[in-house]
Amino acid sequence: MRDPASNERPMDSSFSAKKVKGFLAPALFALSALAVLALQSDGRVKRNCPEKEEEVVIRVERAARATPPPLRPLMADLYWLRALQYVGRRIVARGGALNLDDLASLDLRALGPLLNAAIEFDPHFLAVYEYGAVVLEGIAPDQAIELVEKGIRENPQAWRLYHHLGYILWRQGRFREASDVYLRGARLPGAPRWMEAMAAHIAAEGGSYMVAEEIYARLAETSEDEGIRALAKRRREALRVERELLMLRVALDAARTRLGRCPANWSEAREELKSLSGFAVAPGGELFDPAGISYRIDRQTCQVERAP
């Protein structure tokens, strides 16, 4: 939890009991109203049938206007935690693993409204935008773009938000737009040099494995959320394995053409493996990549398979 008073000026010594009462009355009223909203939101989640998003937004906007400024960060935290719990419950129900490529199966229709509710109370809550960029993108990319664009409007000097928006656009195959966004972010004070390099890489190579691995590496390095860092690392590792499998299939096909049959093991494909740096063939003919992952040849299908 963040300190809701962290941005407030020190309390004046003349702050009387009457003033305290006058302040707390509307504050408690607002909190009570928001608690009701939270319970209603929980009911929507449990029924798996949320109200129309525009209705939720209107209600939250009204509640935000009625909430005293010192309490707004607390309410943002409430909705942020509710969003995390909402996703967490769905993940647990599906076996406890979050797959970035299969988020739609979790049916997270209420996630967008919950995240928007959090930033309605605190538009400078950067973690919400970051989470939306990575998780909401896999469910409703248009909502994710709208969320992060709002974050940029509210926090124009936050270069990380440009990184997140560029990531969403890149995931959607909108490479020119993604490159432009990274370039805009690169011009901000404090932005790392790799932002400009990323813009150039995306413009030149679009959806290549190199660009993909670089983007996830940067997400893992720069994210302030431990869960996002872990997700990015897993996704980068999966991409590395995909890239290696593709290269090994090409090498195996070339060896089969040269030999006129499927190689019995990787020792018979050493010539084709010379161009793949870091791979090592064990005495028994098994192949290991730089990370120690083993790859074998299925003799029946003459295909590459990753060892369990």
146/29 same-domain check: yes
Least confident of 14-23, 115-124, 126-135: 14-23
135/173 same-domain check: no
171/141 same-domain check: no
119/40 same-domain check: yes
C-alpha triplet 6, 131, 145: angle, nearest 5°: 110
> Whole-prediction pTM value?
0.68
Domain count along the chain: 3
280 backbone dihedrals φ, ψ, rounded to 5° = -130, 135
Least confident of 65-69, 77-81, 129-133, 259-263: 65-69
Has residue 2 been placed in a domain? no
Domain membership of residue 291 as a residue range: 241-306
d(CA 210, CA 76): 37
HSE-CB for 190 with a 13 A CA cutoff: 7
Q: What is the mean pLDDT of the chain?
A: 79
**pLDDT tens profile 49-90:** 444 544 555 566 566 667 777 888 888 898 898 888 888 888
Which span out of 80-84, 148-152, 205-209 was modeled with the highest average pLDDT?
148-152
25/135 same-domain check: yes
In this predicted structure, the answer to whether residue 31 has a pLDDT above a threshold of 50 is no
Last residue of a domain, one of 155, 189, 213: 155
Q: Looking up tokens 């997140």, which residue turns up?
A: 164
Confidence of residue 147 (pLDDT cuts 50, 70, 90): very high
Of 197 and 33, which is predicted with more confidence? 197
Q: Integer distance in angstroms from the first to the last C-alpha of the chain?
A: 41
* Per-residue model confidence (pLDDT) at position 64: 65
Has residue 60 been placed in a domain? yes
**DSSP 8-class letter at 9:** P
167/79 same-domain check: no
Has residue 260 been placed in a domain? yes
